[in-house]
Structure 1
Amino acid sequence: MSKGLNMVNIKFAIASLSLVFGSILPVAHAQQGPQKGLPVVELGAGMHLIHAEVARTEEQRAIGLMNRKEMPANAGMLFVFEQAGVQCFWMKNTLIPLSIAFVGDDGSIVNIDEMQALSEASHCSAKPVRYVLEMNQGWFSKRALKAGTKLRGGPWPK
């Protein structure tokens, strides 16, 4: 009887593992290409408009702009976190160089950094923030936008 129970347990374990790996593999496969289908919000920075995809879930934030070969000039990605914290980003599997703006709860840019494609260097907010905006590299500096600039149209109070 004990052999029968062990065999049942082994078969159950194998079936469970196949269910688990079966559900993980499609997600891993989906991460090989760019993330699609995220909602888009229109933001304002001075007289400039931004069309930012919004990454709200942990999975969306983890994938971010990975595996994209290009991004339109005024497009970006807004990362939204549940609570403020020191947010750190890297560029592993990100093919295009980006500028990153860490944004406070009121929509003001806290700090901006430049990130190189495929780099594992960390880029962190100068203080706890809930929002992070990634744009093509140089986007903020070309428009003379810097720390203290207030963004419009996002999830922060108007």
Structure 2
Amino acid sequence: MLKSAALSVLILLICPACAAQPSTEAGQMTEQEARQAFSLAAVNIGKRSFIVQLADSAQKRAQGLMFQKTANPGMLLLYKQPDFISLWMRNTTMPLDVAFIGPDWTILHIEQLQPLDETSISSNGKVIAALEMPQGWFAAKQIKPGDKVKLITN
């Protein structure tokens, strides 16, 4: 009797974890599932305005652009407090540029990230956000370190 009760409790604990797993057989999310986790936010850099996916929780930042097939519209990883951060490209198949954004909302530096590269790329200082865009996007828009970023919230 005690064994069957323990087994029942164990099953109840395991089942919610199974339900939270991605729906594909390989254990990976579909692109639609990956995108559904994120709300959209408006960002201004200089006179340019654009919409990005917003990763504003630890879970969303950890997921990032994994399992998405395109970096468009981009993603803003937003932190509650300025801190040193490191990023990698696990399960991310497109090349990215990332702008590390300091506590004063100025771009500190921009780094290139290569598909599926699990090498850690770290911020040069404490940051409040990191903006991930398709590789070459910042250069094409002539956005550089020192430029001011503004998150538009409702």
TM-score range (shorter-chain normalised) is: 0.7 to 0.9
Measured in 2, the distance between the counterparts of 1:98 and 1:47 equals 22
Please point out which of 23, 28, 41 is paired with 2:21: 28
| Aligned twin of 2:52 | 52
C-alpha displacement at 1:154, in angstroms? Answer: 4.3
Q: What are structure 1's unaligned runs of at least 5 residues?
A: 1-6
Following superposition of structure 1 onto structure 2, how do residues 10-21 of structure 1 map, counting pairs within 5 Å? 10-21=3-14
Alignment correspondent of 1:3: none
State the partner residue of 2:67. 67
- TM-score normalized by structure 1? 0.83
Among all aligned residue pairs of Structure 1 and Structure 2, give the percentage whose two residues are the same amino acid: 31
The match for 1:4 is: none
Q: What is the rounded CA distance, in whole Å, between the counterparts of 1:14 and 1:111 in structure 2?
A: 53
Give me the whole-angstrom Cα distance separating, in 1, the residues matched to 2:46 and 2:114.
Answer: 26
Residues 7-31 of structure 1: CA deviation (Å, up to 9, x unaligned): 41x3343223322322222323165
8 Å contact kept, 1:91–1:120: yes
Between 80-89 and 25-34, the greater mean CA deviation after superposition: 25-34
- Give the match for residue 41 of structure 1: 41
Larger Rg: 1
**Measured at CA, do residues 12 and 62 of structure 1 come closer, stay the same or move farther in structure 2, by a change above 3 Å?**
farther
Residue 132 (str. 1) matches residue 130 (str. 2): yes
User: Does the Cα contact within 8 Å between 1:40 and 1:53 map onto a contact in 2?
Assistant: yes
User: C-alpha root-mean-square deviation of aligned residues, in Å?
Assistant: 1.8
Query: Are 1:50 and 1:76, in contact at CA under 8 Å, matched by a contact in 2?
Result: no
- Greater CA deviation, 103-112 or 44-53? 44-53
* Residues 30-51 of structure 1, C-alpha deviations (whole Å, 9 max, x = no match): 6522321422111112232221
Q: Residue in 2 aligned with 1:95? A: 93
How many residues are paired up? 146
Q: Find the partner of 2:116 among 109, 118, 133.
A: 118
* CA 1:47–1:21: 2 relative to 1, 3 Å: same
Q: CA deviation at 1:76?
A: 1.0
